[in-house]
Chains A and B, each alone.
Chain A
Amino acid sequence: MKFKDKLLMAIDNIWRRKLIFLINTILGIVAITLLAMVVHMYNRTTYTNKEINRITVLSEDEIYFLSLKTFNFKENENLINRVLDFYEEIKNIETVNWFGTYAIDDFFLDNKIEGLEEIYKKYSSVSDSMFSMYQLLPIPIAVYEDKGINRISMNIEELDITGVKTDSDISELNITDEYIEVLVGSELKEYFEKGKIYSYHQSDEKVSIKVVGYLQEDSIFYKENVLGGAPVYICLDGYMVFPEKYNYELDVYGSAITNNAMIYSHDSDIKNKIEILSHKYNINVDLNSLEGIMKDTLKENVMYQNIKLLVIFIFILTVIAYSASGIVGILTRKNEVGIFYSCGLSTQNIISTIAIENIIQLIIVYVISALFIYTKFLESNASTLSALGIEKDIFIRYDSIILLAVVFSILMVVTIFPAIILRMMPIGSMVNDN
């Protein structure tokens, strides 16, 4: 039997069994869409939880994040020594199991502040937990004089959508060979003059920025919650807004100077002890437990987790229905299979024709699902979906595509399997089966 005839027969069979094909297609689309959502939810959750769980496997309330509120290293050199001594004493507390610092940039005007680097060298912690901590706290990314500065990269349109206003009519932020155009939050106005160029060192690289405008006071920006759940709102007053093209994360991760620390301790009194030390060294600090941070975040996650479970459940049901529909479809064609066989079609021909039918259906399901995902439906429900932790790019993730392909290959085999079983039965009886 020629391949062309198999293909035509498969298409013909699909066309003649339109209703069943339509039902299977709908089931397939629902299943594939749900699977993509589940994969995305799973990946997002496990990516973040993997990092957090490495910390929280110890115990959430035993992890503390310490942030220095004073950054004025330049004017107060003694501060460096006090910070060093402060950290040293914390580290030497018997009940402190682990102490580490993580990095931010130092921000200066062509003068490097070496004190911070000294702190980093002594207490730097090179671990994956660094990255996770950035996701948990609004950590100052840079220090300028006595001000901690946070950095965010985005395009102007995102600011417009949220309603954040600038004082000048700026449509985009550019990156030139000489500098990067930035917007500055209201709290940083007194430090950075409009039109002026400032520079700093990031590792060995010199970065120059030009202030092109200021954000209005109380600029609130809506940002999706990387832990899932409801979005978070960021006050951009203490931020510098960089162009979207500027790689924010690498910049942060590659920083070399530190003013924040993480402490792990079973001691229920550790907070008091650290507060006493901070008074001793006259260092203004914020001390938060991971539990406290997670509590608020996880409250919002409960609904998200429940939705995820529901989606998984519906996906499993849909897959079962899709498989059952395919199997039932084959079993109701026993008579037809017997007739084909009696007319001279070989076992291999029959099975391959059925396989082609399934492949065609699979392709149609996949294409329609992809179109469905990328239609206006998603666009118009972006905020709702974003709250569920679903992004529009769920189909371009390679791991989603591979998993989808594997699952539906299995489904395809499942629907062919009955045809193989059919062959083991006496074909003579199948011809008369109605």
Chain B
Amino acid sequence: MIKLENITKIYSNNNEQKALDDVSLQINDGEFVAIMGESGSGKSTLINIIGMMDKETAGTYLLDDVNISELNLSQREKKRRENISFIFQQFALVKRYTIYENVELPLIAKGVPSKKRKVKIMEALKALGIEDIANKYAMNTSGGQQQRAAIARAIVSDSKYILADEPTGALDSNNGEEVMKLLEDLNKSGKTVIMVTHNENLAKKAGRIINISDGKLRF
């Protein structure tokens, strides 16, 4: 379970801009939640804080009853590594790595032996139908293939929470549909999926929609 209590995020620039303002929410295990908002509404900031890619300025963040706000950097990194996987709009693949090597990264981070890594990676690639491009460099693959690779990377680490920031934003409608289907399948398999989107049609595919505007949740 993810629980945010009175989370505020202020970016220390000249304007002291509040990206999130007293946000409180709870996401239960197994949910598929869509966070919707316009550009600049704070949705990416929210998902970054949930994913521990950024730290809240104030408030409390509880992940499976562990107070993330009180953890030091290396403890937070460990928690993130064990529980959270990301899918980004621009795929976030290392272009000069092959698909295989990109998918391998989370397993390297977890210290999984190389033989076991191979098994898991090929399983994930097969599940997404991209095992034949395993040795292709990411820069030489299509957007749809790259996003599948990103999803394979999320699957392979077997994380409890999947955070997707505009996962279909850089894809055409067909590929976008396929990616959404994959996210739904992941959710059905028991993963908690949190998706950021500005697309209402995509948001409707989620079990719950959270609206955010100017850093505040709207109900």
Interface residues of A (CB under 8 A from B): 1-2, 5, 9, 16, 336, 338-349, 426-428, 431-432, 434
Contact = CB atoms under 8 A, between A and B. Distances in A.
A339 B73 CA distance: 18
Contact of B92 (A339, A344, A349): A339
Interface of B: 44-45, 48, 51, 53-54, 73-74, 77-78, 80-81, 86, 88-90, 92-94, 96, 105-106, 108-111, 153, 157
Given A336-B94, A346-B77, A347-B73, A431 B88 contact: yes
Contact of A341 (B53, B88, B93, B96): B53
Contacts of B88: 342, 431-432
Q: 6 nearest interchain CB pairs?
A: A344-B109, A344-B81, A343-B105, A428-B48, A346-B77, A428-B53
Contact of A427 (B53, B74, B81, B109): B53
B157 A344 contact: yes
A343 B86 CA distance: 7
29 contacts: A16-B96, A336-B94, A338-B92, A339-B92, A339-B93, A339-B94, A339-B105, A340-B94, A341-B53, A342-B86, A342-B92, A344-B80, A344-B81, A344-B105, A344-B106, A344-B109, A344-B110, A344-B157, A346-B74, A346-B77, A346-B109, A349-B109, A426-B54, A427-B48, A427-B53, A428-B48, A428-B54, A431-B88, A432-B92
- In the complex, which of the residues A338, A339, A347 has the most CB atoms of chain B within 10 Å of its own CB atom? A339
Contacts of A347: 73-74, 77
A19 to B, nearest CB: 12
A346 B78 contact: yes
Given A1-B111, A336-B94, A347-B74, 14 more contacts: A339-B92, A339-B105, A340-B109, A342-B53, A342-B88, A344-B80, A344-B106, A426-B54, A427-B48, A427-B53, A431-B53, A431-B88, A432-B88, A432-B89
Nearest to A333: B94
A347 B76 CA distance: 11
B19 to A, nearest CB: 10
Contacts of A336: 94
Nearest to B88: A431
A5 B54 contact: no
Nearest to A16: B96
A427 B53 CA distance: 6
Nearest to B93: A339
B154 to A, nearest CB: 10
- In the complex, which of the residues A2, A344, A345, A432 has the most CB atoms of chain B within 10 Å of its own CB atom? A344
Contacts of B105: 339-340, 343-345
- In the complex, which of the residues B73, B90, B105 has the most CB atoms of chain A within 10 Å of its own CB atom? B105
A426 B53 contact: yes
A308 B92 CA distance: 50
A35 B60 CA distance: 54
Nearest to B117: A5
A332 to B, nearest CB: 12
A81 B193 CA distance: 109
A432 B90 contact: yes
B217 to A, nearest CB: 19
Contacts of B109: 1, 340, 343-346, 349
B182 to A, nearest CB: 18
Nearest to B81: A344
Nearest to A6: B108
B81 A426 contact: no
Contacts of B153: 343
Contacts of A434: 90
Contacts of B51: 342
A352 to B, nearest CB: 13
A350 to B, nearest CB: 10
Nearest to B83: A344
A261 to B, nearest CB: 73
A370 B200 CA distance: 65
A187 to B, nearest CB: 75
Nearest to B110: A344
A338 B165 CA distance: 15
A243 B198 CA distance: 90
A426 B52 CA distance: 10
A343 B90 CA distance: 15
B42 to A, nearest CB: 12
Contacts of A1: 108-109, 111
A16 B97 CA distance: 9
Nearest to B154: A343
A430 to B, nearest CB: 9
Nearest to B90: A432
Contacts of A343: 86, 105-106, 109, 153, 157
A204 B109 CA distance: 73
Nearest to A338: B92
Contact of B108 (A9, A341, A348, A426): A9
B135 to A, nearest CB: 14
Nearest to B89: A432
